[in-house]
Amino acid sequence: MILLFYAIINAAAVVFFVRLKKRLHILEVMMYWFAASYMYQNLSALCYMNFKTLIIPDQLSYELAHFLSRILLYPALIVVFLHVYLGLGSFLAKLLLAVLYIGLLTGLEWMDHWLGVVVHKNWHFWWSLVFWLSTLLVLLGFMTAFRKILFRRNVPK
């Protein structure tokens, strides 16, 4: 049942993402997707395997539910964040978007907790806020750098 629920929300996220007319080049979408997923997988792996502050139940359905979210749902949402960010002009609007997104991603992380997919143990709530803020900042930095590389005109040597 839990896997079905996660399969539906992940499929919905992917369908929404595919239908969205994006401001990002296809190669950008791929790179930011991979980077976002890698960030979240690292947090999950370190906290689950090393610090024992995240618990994934010993059942295939829970692991698959978490697996789907870390390679589809979270990266898709973060790439949409970058897409919306590029369309905003003022600093205040960008700041508001970042605050909304930190709330959304933290909310999803704690939905995982309440549904028993990824259970937080000895966890301080502010760690979640700091992680998602850091993730968005890293992705914004990566986007700025990659766009500089991708869209400069290349002159053969």
Partner 1 sequence: MNVTFDWNEWFAIFASSIAFLNFLIVRGYFSAAMVVIVVMYNIFLVSTIDYFLIATPFKVYIFGDNPSYELSGGLFHLFMYPSASLLFLFLYDKFELYGHKTVWYILGWTCFALLFEWICVYNRFLVYTGWKLYYSIPTYPIAAVQLILLYRFATRKLLQIGFDNHYK
Q: Which two tokens stand for residue 89?
A: 């002009």
Question: CB under 8 A: which stretch of 76-84, 88-96, 128-136, 146-154 binds partner 1?
Answer: 146-154
Min dist. Cβ of residue 29 to partner 1 (A) = 11
Alpha carbon separation from 77 to 43, 84, 122, 149 (Å, rounded):
17, 11, 27, 24
3-state SS of the chain: helix, strand, coil percent to 5? 75, 5, 20
Min dist. Cβ of residue 33 to partner 1 (A) = 8
Q: Nearer Cβ to partner 1, position 38 or 88?
A: 38
Residue 44's nearest CA partner among 61, 19, 67 is 67
Whole-angstrom distance, CA of residue 112 vs CA of residue 62:
10
Whole-angstrom distance, CA of residue 57 vs CA of residue 118:
8
Q: Nearer Cβ to partner 1, position 44 or 128?
A: 44
Note whether 25 binds partner 1 by CB under 8 A: yes
Min dist. Cβ of residue 109 to partner 1 (A) = 17
Note whether 138 binds partner 1 by CB under 8 A: no
Q: Nearer Cβ to partner 1, position 99 or 150?
A: 150
Q: Nearer Cβ to partner 1, position 97 or 140?
A: 140
Whole-angstrom distance, CA of residue 27 vs CA of residue 147:
10
Min dist. Cβ of residue 25 to partner 1 (A) = 7
Residues 53-72 that bind partner 1 (CB under 8 A): 56-60, 63, 67, 71
